[in-house]
Structure 1
């Protein structure tokens, strides 16, 4: 973590010195001295994490260094902010005669920088006795610390790991043999043994789905509330149950399940104290052939919940053969073998043997190897480090996870520790994590020197491919939408975060804080070190945030990340926004699904460092202020799902760094204050665009050609919500799309046939096509290509197209590379291979199609 903090500051120093300007030049010698000193010790710090756990003196020194670096980062942020003010006040950099007294926050900057450099020099001298061996180790590994290219490879599907076939068959036999009443069965064993994975495999089995009328998954965990378990059951049944008391929740559950054969999986149960299970069990209908599966580490818990000896499954440790197979899959991203080199296999076998047949340990170590070079020397180093870790840690799983953490590149460590603020078993939006990492500067700049969404996605894939993070929900094209972490991984995260003062400081204040949480006023006072305040709630929970918190939020001067998403305030949101606008260093602001927000105040234009602004699903938001176009550092602007928003403000073309623009609604051509589609052609960094069209008079002559100028555009969504008027469809034929687009989504398309430009010749790089809702009747003639050109699509989704008349055989012939298809409510789609798919709730789905 110290390495990560130093690396982040060095990168920012480089950018700061590159920007120049009167403010920076005033202290250039001190910044350059700081840069030189930090570079001298950076190599040593890359190997400090493991050694500092053993040497208390080293821990104390590096802890001190970390706090000094945080101070330096705050001064750099102040300089950057002052430079932005100078540009605003003078129209450019300050003239030579300008006085720095105009910037009182920087008046003492020179003295503070000299003090910080003096502290760094003293710390460096104290580190020298520890440095020689560490430098030799770290220098040999420099070339491998940013192996980003492999992270985009396929990750291991946790439900398809080896050694489960017999276990799944055994549990399915119990399920299908249940006849009278409700049958309870348990999966019992130590952490990391694969209890949840086995239950997931059964839960997702097609025969199991067909056997039961309702199948429900409930995560219980160590810290739970009885009402939340009931609400989780109701959520699976399509009822949020918000506001209901315990008796009403139980009544609804009984009503929904009465007369149905159901299966409920209660995952990770730790206790049945307080009588919660007895009350819930008595409320469940006793329908014949219904079943309950419990996963727990405590066999007594399973028995008290009704599992008898004949229906308790105790997963066994994996055999050496299965262990090696799982290790190979994790270390290669899914292949059955990793190398024909016998020396590599020998070292690999030694590593696997140390894992003792525990699936979680094997996946953690294998996932770590996936992101390292396949060399005997590198694998031998891992084997030796694993041996040393096991000598100090009796818990095999925790030892393997600690090793995996130690081997993370420096910039991935703080990304990983961000999970410490989330409650157990919390399902987390991937975008929330990536945007947080970007906002705090954890994500390294791309090769061009700028921050990019792709770099943030690479960081997420780096954790996912190392099996430290689990994917929960994916979109139709396979992209991860939500994720979670294993409870043992969370134990490690919390332990390291505490040791590194990542979230909470020794004086009781916080550096990073989750909402909801217990937040006394003293944590939000003017000298707070708080850098990130992040919502950890979800749509089913009502946040109890008090107005005293929002009243003090403006005092958190060092705040970089503020995420109030899904939050229900008890104060006026407009008042909250006015307070937020006084925070000078804020880079990420998330107000997703915030209630009662009708407008954003003009004062938001004061957030000159803002890079990510998420206002999505603020359903009654009507206007955006004109000042939003002055936020020149914006990378992400998301107003998707803002149904009441009339248009975007004029001047959006000034946001030249914008990479993601969602929910763009153009104004009518006769509106002088609104933004037109033609302005988009200046956004040459744009990679993702969601365009909303309702009527023809929103499109001026030549507007639709603007999109063809977006040469970095990869992902395009066009929604025709509330569209009407015969003039819209003809204008859509004039749309020109750049050829490099790889993902296209059309929603509520108004024409009778697909547009002429939707063809494999115009879109040769398209890999993912999604057509949702609409009344069009057939695919246009151009859709089929010219006979010699076929689609290169990998994934196709067709949903709610009741009038579409098409022959699936012809569609598949035009798309021979398809691997994933989802077809929902397309009753006139003839010849779809329904024998290979499941039918649930009117949705037909066929996965992993062969060509």
Structure 2
């Protein structure tokens, strides 16, 4: 962690010093001295981060450096705030001297703090030199070699090895289940052996899906409660109601399943304490060939849950060839899982052999090598480090050694991103958007010239997925990950490191990052250093925040991230919001699904450093304050699904740094205080835009070319839900849409004929197309292209288009590059190969060599 913090801080410090107007001049000498020392020390850090685990003194030295870096970053942030205040005062005609007398105490205090920090950093530099003795070239430390990055698609988690026979055996047990009684199957084995993967393969099998009326996946984990298990089952059944007693929850489950065949997967069961399983099992219907699959590391638990010997499945270790096949699929995706590099196979097989056939260990090693140069020297270095980790006293398993090596080999910025997972509860499904926004707000995402912040955040997320440290849970029709999770053994690693690095710490210990799940101990802990407080609730759950807790976290002067989504406050929201306005360093504020927000108080105008504001699904929100147009640093604004929102305030076009704008509703010309469609022209950094348009008069005749000014725009959504204007379809047809679009989503399109600009000539780079709901009946003549011009679309979704009367054969000819396909509720779509796809669920179908196509039909 230390190297990540230092690298991020140095980069931000260099950027600040390059902008002479943003740092108080009198501190420039101290900042320059600090920058020089930290840049010098960067050469030590990668080696030190690994060696400190074996050297207690070096560990303490690095801990001291980490705390100094945090202190220095806070000082820099305070200096920037002071400059902002001074510039505001000058703009109002106030004090115009370089500083006001009131700043003297701050200047004296800050100067002394910087002097002390520089002195301590200098001493640490000398201590590290004596421990590590780096090579010195001409009196200077050579700059660390930048890791070469190899771009490749996100690894497909469906690429599994050695489970075909296992899946067939388990499916046989399920299909042979007696109509009377409950068939219980146990998948038992050590951690990392693939128990959950085997259960997932069966659970997602099309034949299994067709066989059962209901399916439920429940992650039991080590820290479950009986009520949480039942609520999870009900969420699987589409019921997210709150407030019922455990007895009522069980009665609901019984009613939902009565007369139905069902499959329940109880994943990762650790304990049967308090008799929870007996009560739950007794409350389940026992007919219609229903079954339960249990995954656990403890055979006794499975037996007590009713598994007989004939229904035990014990996953075997992968054979040598299966292990090598799995490794190659991960390490060489661009070569379709083939090792075509001279000399690398021997080294690779040596590492794979040490994994002992454990899939999780093999995936971890494969993920490391996927992101390295195909160099024999580099591979041998990794192999040697793997041997060292296996021999280390603190690694008691090959899985632990492989995961530790994965962490050690991460670039500095990815270490910071990875440690964020320590905040989330066990078996938590994690929003990718929340992660990326958090990383951006805390400065973990590296800033590079020409790269948008959200693009860099996506790269960081992909980097962790490619290294097999993060697993996909839910994907969009385009194959992009929406939610993710981490394996419990990966979580054990990340929690251990995060605790050691003081990134986030257990309850009762001062911490810089907390989950709202832990907020019940905020009152008893020192939170003066808190930087991030995030909601980690599941869908259907709510945070209940008392007045004292709400006030307490609003006192955290260095807070950068505040996500209180899905929260209910016991105190009046205005009282909380007034306090939030004092968080001068806040960069990310999420009020998603927080009720009942009606409006924002004036105090929040002080959040001048805010980069991200998410108020989506705040159904009672009526207005956004005019001062939002003065929050110049806003990069992401999400106001989607705010049904009561009257308008977006006029002047939003001033936010020229916006990269993401979701839920934008252009105002009619009669709304003098509202933002018109033409204001989008000045938002030249927009990459993602979500429009909600309900009337033709929301787009003026002179505003048709507005979107063509957005040269960075790649993702566009046009949502016409609740539209009632007869001319809206004609207005949308006249829009000028930018050619560089990668993804387009049309929802509730009001016209019967698709817009003229929806054709492969106007949108030559479009890769993902989604059309859902609305009146669409036919595609315009240009949609079909010609012999020389066809669509480059790779993913297509057509959903709930009851009037669409087109021939599927013609669609497939116009889109020869389609790899992912989702079709549902399109009854008039002619010539669709229903016999290949089936009516229920999903399956994979090949439309070309090596191209899997996910097809969903109804």
2:463 is aligned to 462
**1:451, CA displacement in angstroms?**
5.5
Of residues 58-67 and 598-607 in structure 1, the stretch that sits farther from structure 2 once superposed is: 598-607
Work out whether 1:166 is the aligned partner of 2:165: yes
When residues 844 and 209 of structure 1 are mapped into structure 2, their CA distance, relative to the original with a 3 A threshold, is closer
Are 2:521 and 1:520 equivalent residues in the alignment? yes
Moved more, 801-810 or 512-521: 512-521
Q: Which residue of 2 aligns with 1:266?
A: 266
Mapped pair 1:379 → 2:379: yes
SS of match in other structure, 1:408: coil
Match of 1:10 in 2: 10
Matched residues in 2 for 1:814 and 1:94: separation?
Answer: 66
For residue 604 of structure 2, give the secondary structure of its aligned residue in structure 1.
helix
Shift of 1:542: 2.6
Deviations 1:59-104 (A, max 9, x none): 0111011101110000000011111112211129974553263475
Structure 1 partner of 2:796: 796
Segment of structure 1 superposing worse, 752-761 or 97-106: 97-106
Please name the residue that 2:418 is paired with: 416
1:390 and 1:776 map into 2 onto residues whose CA distance is 61
Q: Residue 299 of structure 1 aligns with which residue? A: 299
Conserved? CA contact 1:524–1:556, under 8 Å = no
Distance 1:285 1:554 in 2: 49
Q: How many Å separate the matches in 2 of 1:375 and 1:719? A: 49
| Deviations 1:415-451, CA, capped at 9 Å, x for gaps | 1111111110000110000000111111100233x75
1:396 to 398, 416, 424: 398
The 1:394–1:563 alpha-carbon spacing in structure 2 relative to 1, beyond 3 Å, is: same
Equivalent position SS for 1:516: helix
Query: In 2, distance between residues paired with 1:227 and 1:133?
Result: 56
Partners of 1:327 and 1:475 lie apart in 2 by 27
Deviation at 1:288, TM superposition (A): 3.6
> Aligned equivalents of 1:236 and 1:724: distance in 2?
35
d(CA) in 2 for partners of 1:506 and 1:67?
20
Map 1:319-358 to 2 at 5 A. 319-333=319-333, 335-358=335-358
How is 1:746-785 mapped onto 2 (pairs within 5 angstroms)?
Answer: 746-785=746-785
CA contact (8 A) 1:839 1:845 kept: no
- Classify the secondary structure of the residue corresponding to 1:300: helix
Q: Identify the range of structure 1 (326-335 vs 432-441) with the bigger mean alpha-carbon deviation.
A: 326-335
Cα shift readout 1:155-179 (whole Å, capped 9, x = no counterpart):
3333331111111111111112222
Equivalent residue in structure 2 for 1:405, among 404, 407, 411: 407
Distance 1:51 1:14, change over 3 A: same
Q: Do residues 444 (structure 1) and 455 (structure 2) align? A: no
Any idea what the Cα deviations from partners look like across 1:680-734, whole Å, max 9, x if unmatched?
A: 1111110000011111221122212111100010000011121112232222222
- Matches of 1:176 and 1:529 in 2, distance apart? 56
Counterpart of 1:160 in 2: which secondary structure? Answer: coil
| 2:290 is the alignment partner of 1:290 | yes
* Bigger Cα displacement from structure 2, 712-721 vs 176-185: 176-185
Distance 2:167 2:249 in 1: 32
List alignment gaps of at least 5 residues for structure 2: 852-858
Aligned partner of 2:503 in structure 1 is 502
Instruction: Give the total of aligned pairs.
Output: 843
* Residue 821 of structure 1: how far off its partner (Å): 1.2
* Residue 248 (str. 1) matches residue 248 (str. 2): yes
Name the structure 1 match of 2:279.
279
Per-residue deviation, 1:19: 1.7
Match of 2:695 in 1: 695
Deviation of the 1:339 alpha carbon? 2.8
Is 2:40–2:141's contact at 8 Å kept on the other side of the alignment?
A: no
Q: CA deviation at 1:475?
A: 0.5
Report the Cα distance in structure 2 between the residues aligned to 1:803 and 1:281, rounded to whole angstroms. 46
Q: SS of the residue aligned with 2:518? A: coil
Report whether the alignment pairs 1:194 with 2:194: yes
Which residue in the other structure is 1:722 paired with? 722
1:268/1:295 contact within 8 Å kept: yes
Relative to structure 1, the CA distance from residue 17 to residue 95 in structure 2 (aligned partners, 3 Å threshold; closer, same or farther) is: farther
**Deviates most, 282-291 or 62-71:** 282-291
Is 1:433 equivalent to 2:432 in the alignment? no
Check the 8 A contact 1:760/1:785 in 2, yes or no: yes
The worse-fitting range, judged by mean Cα deviation, of 728-737 and 274-283 is 728-737
Write the mapping of 1:630-649 to structure 2, written as runs, cut at 5 A: 630-649=630-649
- Secondary structure, aligned partner of 2:493: helix
Q: 1:455 to 1:135 in 2, by over 3 A?
A: farther
The more displaced of 596-605 and 351-360 is 596-605
Q: Describe the shift of the 1:443–1:135 C-alpha distance in structure 2 as closer, same or farther (beyond 3 A).
A: farther
**1:10-31 Cα shifts (integer Å, max 9, x gaps):** 0111111112127422211111
Structure 2 contact 507–521 (Cα < 8 Å) conserved: no
Alpha carbons 1:663, 1:692 under 8 Å: kept: yes
Give secondary structure in 2 for the equivalent of 1:744.
strand
CA displacement, residues 344-383 of structure 1 (integer Å, 9 cap, x when unaligned):
1110011001111100000011101111111111110111
| CA 97–353 in structure 1, closer or farther in 2 if over 3 Å, else same | closer
Preserved CA contact (<8 Å) 1:215 1:263? yes
For residues 225-236 of structure 1, the aligned pairs below 5 Å read: 225-236=225-236
SS at match of 1:519: helix
* Secondary structure of the corresponding residue to residue 734 of structure 2: coil
Residue equivalent to 1:539: 539
Instruction: Tell me the distance in 2 between the aligned counterparts of 1:57 and 1:184.
Output: 53
Q: Determine the C-alpha separation between the residues in 2 that align with 1:672 and 1:524.
A: 49
8 Å CA contact 2:656, 2:682 repeated in 1: yes
Q: Deviations over 1:562-590 (max 9, x none)?
A: 01011122222222222111111111111
- The CA RMSD over aligned residues, in Å, is 2.0
Corresponding residue of 1:122: 123
2:147, 2:533 → 1: CA distance? 30
In the superposition, relative to structure 1, how do residues 610 and 134 fare at CA in structure 2: closer, same or farther (>3 Å)? farther
* Separation in 1, partners of 2:49, 2:41: 14
Alpha-carbon distance in 1 for matches of 2:71, 2:370: 36
Kept after mapping to 2: 8 A contact 1:819/1:847: no
Measured in 1, the distance between the counterparts of 2:212 and 2:3 equals: 52
State the shift of 1:107 in Å. Answer: 4.5
Q: Give the stretch that moved more between structures: 76-85 or 294-303.
A: 76-85
Distance 1:391 1:799, change over 3 A: same
Q: Residue in 2 aligned with 1:660?
A: 660
Corresponding residue number in structure 2 for 1:220: 220
* Correspondence for 2:855: none
Normalising to structure 1: TM-score of the pair? 0.96
Give how far 1:524 is off.
6.8
Task: Give the TM-score normalised by the residue count of structure 2.
Answer: 0.95
Which residue does the alignment assign to 2:365? 365
Q: What's the CA shift string for 1:455-513, capped at 9, x where partnerless?
A: 00111111110000000000011110000000000001111111111113898211111
- Alpha-carbon distance in structure 2 between the residues aligned to 1:531 and 1:588: 11
Q: 8 Å contact 1:619–1:644 — kept in the other structure? A: yes
Cα deviation, 1:135-185, whole Å, max 9, x if unaligned, reads 89x9999444362x51xx223333331111111111111112222421111
Check the 8 A contact 1:772/1:799 in 2, yes or no: yes
DSSP-derived class of the 1:317 partner = coil
Contact 1:428 1:482 in 2 (8 A): yes
Aligned to 1:596: 596
CA distance in 2, matches of 1:410, 1:523: 33
SS of 1:813 mapped into structure 2? helix
2:478 is paired with a residue of what secondary structure?
coil
Whole-Å separation in 1 of the counterparts to 2:154 and 2:616: 29
Cα gap change, 1:100/1:739 in structure 2, threshold over 3 Å: closer, same or farther?
farther
Give, in angstroms, the shift of residue 601 of structure 1.
2.3
Q: Distance in 1 between matches of 2:823 and 2:603?
A: 46
Asked if 2 retains the 8 angstrom alpha-carbon contact of 1:365 and 1:400, the reply is yes
Q: CA deviation at 1:785?
A: 2.4
User: Is the 8 Å Cα contact of residues 330 and 366 (structure 2) preserved in structure 1?
Assistant: yes
Q: 1:761 to 1:506 in 2, by over 3 A?
A: closer
